[in-house]
Amino acid sequence: MSLLTLKNKKITRRSKEDRVFDAINVFLVALIVILVIYPLYFIVIASFSDPNMIYEGKVWLLPKKITFEGYERIFRDSKIWLGYKNSLIYTVVGTIVNVSFTLMAAYALSRKDLYGRNVIMFLFLMTMFFSGGLIPTYLVVKNLGLLNTMWALILPKAIAVWNVIVAKTYFESSIPNELLEAAKMDGCSDAKFFWKIVLPLSKPIVAVMVLFYAVGHWNSYFDALIYLNNENLYPLQLILRNILIQNEASTMMISDLESLAAKQRVSELIKYGVIIVASVPLLIVYPFVQKYFVKGVMIGGIKG
């Protein structure tokens, strides 16, 4: 009996029923954790293991016949790096556009003295429930001449209504009206007030917005699929799709291999590897920024 259990016992005096309940609960939660983690863990060990060992079902808990061939080929491949670079550019530029548009609009809408704000908010909300659909949107992008430019991935997704609601709610609840009145007394303009006072006071919501939008850009492939057909512009996710789903381990990666069997073997290895390479940036950053994501969901969910 550890000290902790003794202490707990004293405080809550758990009944026998409750102890059974807790035991079952802990067991089930542990099971869930394993179900979530194991697939991810398996991808990691498989990316280091000889594919034949995987085929034969010998890889379960530890990598077998460790090899770095998959990673070597991935890192030598120029397409992957080009995709990485493109994705990085799209994510950075796209997120800057997203966050600035969203925060500016949300702040303006959070001001109760803005004439017509309800009408405008209604116009925005409407788009959540009804949209023209894929084809009309595609035609707009096409007519604007955005096809095969990075703007096709950025402008049509410039603002997510949901994030406007989240940011607006935050501004409404955390920027006191007195602050605005005092600043106005001193002759501060709205733009200056937003820039000098609102933004510094709203760092958490800025972080939430940056993270939500950045993850969205980094992970999306669909817009690139429909709006781009120049391979040099492909973001990482589209290149991943070709490798993982279309089975086109880019010819560069396996061109030196002679036999079909060897090609297939290595392309399996490459699949595990690219999954890791593509997900690592997010999974490394994620535990540190998790609280901001959670915060975003909560503001949106409870108050929105």
Identity of the residue, 108 or 207, whose beta carbon is nearer to another protein in the bound complex: 108
The alpha carbons of the chain give a radius of gyration, in whole angstroms, of: 26
> Where does the chain have alpha helices with state H?
3-12, 16-46, 51-55, 69-76, 78-110, 117-129, 134-143, 151-154, 161-174, 177-185, 190-193, 199-201, 203-219, 222-227, 236-244, 251-254, 260-298
Identity of the residue, 126 or 256, whose beta carbon is nearer to another protein in the bound complex: 126
Identity of the residue, 185 or 302, whose beta carbon is nearer to another protein in the bound complex: 302
Identity of the residue, 89 or 244, whose beta carbon is nearer to another protein in the bound complex: 244
Nearest approach, Cβ of residue 34 and another protein (Å)? 10
Identity of the residue, 37 or 256, whose beta carbon is nearer to another protein in the bound complex: 37
Identity of the residue, 176 or 256, whose beta carbon is nearer to another protein in the bound complex: 176
d(CA 59, CA 36): 18
d(CA 134, CA 136): 6
Nearest approach, Cβ of residue 142 and another protein (Å)? 9
Nearest approach, Cβ of residue 61 and another protein (Å)? 12
Identity of the residue, 256 or 283, whose beta carbon is nearer to another protein in the bound complex: 283
Nearest approach, Cβ of residue 244 and another protein (Å)? 3
Nearest approach, Cβ of residue 13 and another protein (Å)? 9
Nearest approach, Cβ of residue 121 and another protein (Å)? 6
d(CA 56, CA 242): 26
A 10 A CB-CB count for 70 gives 26
d(CA 265, CA 259): 10
Nearest approach, Cβ of residue 75 and another protein (Å)? 18
Residue from 81, 119, 120, 96 nearest 214 by CA: 96
Asked if 155 and 146 touch (Cβ cutoff 8 Å), the reply is yes
Q: Residue 268 carries which side chain, given as an amino acid letter?
A: E
